[in-house]
Amino acid sequence: MHQEKNIIPDHVLTADQKHNKFSKLIPPVLTVKSGAVIKADTYEASDRQLHSKANLKGPCKY
């Protein structure tokens, strides 16, 4: 039986640290050494637009 270990991250990125594009003009929020453990909290990719009552024929609303 597999037992999950409690891994303590070296760094944590919170979900409020976000942007909507990839650009070299956006400075990194974190630089780490090889082997570092990072916990990254994220938002759901559709920004809550996809759900059980979503209208997939047009723009989704929540």
What pLDDT does residue 3 have? Answer: 62
Whether the full predicted model's pTM is greater than 0.85, yes or no, is: no
Band of pLDDT at residue 1, cut at 50, 70 and 90: low
Q: Does any domain span residue 1?
A: no
Whether 15 is covered by a domain: the verdict is yes
Output b/e per residue, 1-33; b: 16+ Cβ within 10 A: eeeeeeeeeeeeeeeeeeeeeeeeeeeeeeeee
Residue 18 lies in a domain: yes
Task: State how many domains the chain has.
Answer: 1
Token duo for residue 60: 């989704």
CA distance 32 to 16: 20
Q: Which domain holds residue 26?
A: 8-62
Per-residue pLDDT of 10-59, as tens digits, reads 999 998 877 777 889 989 889 999 999 999 988 777 767 777 777 667 65
